[in-house]
Structure 1
Amino acid sequence: MNIKVYVTSVTCSRDIKAQQSDLTRILEGKCIKYETVDISQDNSLRDEMRTKSGNPKATPPQIFNGDEYCGDYEQFRDAVEADALKEFLKLKADS
């Protein structure tokens, strides 16, 4: 398992800050290990996130399992509400 969450530590958007905080709180609460990739550290990371997600206008947070795209924050919230987070994150049932 290699969950990566693309985030930014530099944003004026309250929505992005709230989404990132909510996402990490949920992952930690469910004891799901993840790593963050801060796209504000290097423009190439932002470009990588957008290329891998297939959306040239994607904004953080974006979620991946390794190099496999899982989805954005809205899709994450939908999966949480549907009690399908492990499926969304492409985790094995025993993870």
Structure 2
Amino acid sequence: MSVKVFYASVSGNLEIKTAQQRIFSVLDGKRIPYEMVDITASDEAKASMRSIAGNPTALPPQISNGNAYCGDFSAFEAAVESEALEAFLKL
């Protein structure tokens, strides 16, 4: 399985953009490999993100390990702060 970050390459929401950049920065800094899944590129990607998150209105960024849901940005930040990122990412 691999870590997937569902994100939106096109968004007018500054909060979403900032959250996405923070996730990519942390994962890159810790050299954790991940796959970027752009939900604006296809309806299938958006549907997949919402299915995995178990929320029909979920917004990016959302994180999974394969098809196992890890959490949203708030949960990611909590994991980083408590130094439990690897457990959060199911690594």
Coarse TM-score class (shorter-chain normalised): over 0.9
TM-score by length of 2: 0.97
Q: Summarize the alignment of residues 28-47 of structure 1 with structure 2, pairs less than 5 Å apart.
A: 28-47=28-47
Rounded Cα–Cα distance in structure 1 between residues aligned with 2:66 and 2:30: 19
Structure 1 consecutive aligned stretches of length 4 or more whose deviation exceeds 6 Å: none
* 3-state SS of paired residue (1:32): coil
Rounded Cα–Cα distance in structure 1 between residues aligned with 2:52 and 2:76: 17
Q: What is the deviation of 1:63?
A: 0.3
**Is there any run of 5+ residues in structure 2 with no aligned partner, and where?**
none
Q: What is the deviation of 1:74?
A: 0.3
2:81 maps to 81
User: Over aligned residue pairs, what C-alpha RMSD do you find?
Assistant: 0.7
Rounded Cα–Cα distance in structure 2 between residues aligned with 1:67 and 1:11: 24
Q: Summarize the alignment of residues 67-78 of structure 1 with structure 2, pairs less than 5 Å apart.
A: 67-78=67-78
Provide the identity percentage. 47
1:24 maps to 24
TM-score by length of 1: 0.93
**Is there any run of 5+ residues in structure 1 with no aligned partner, and where?**
none
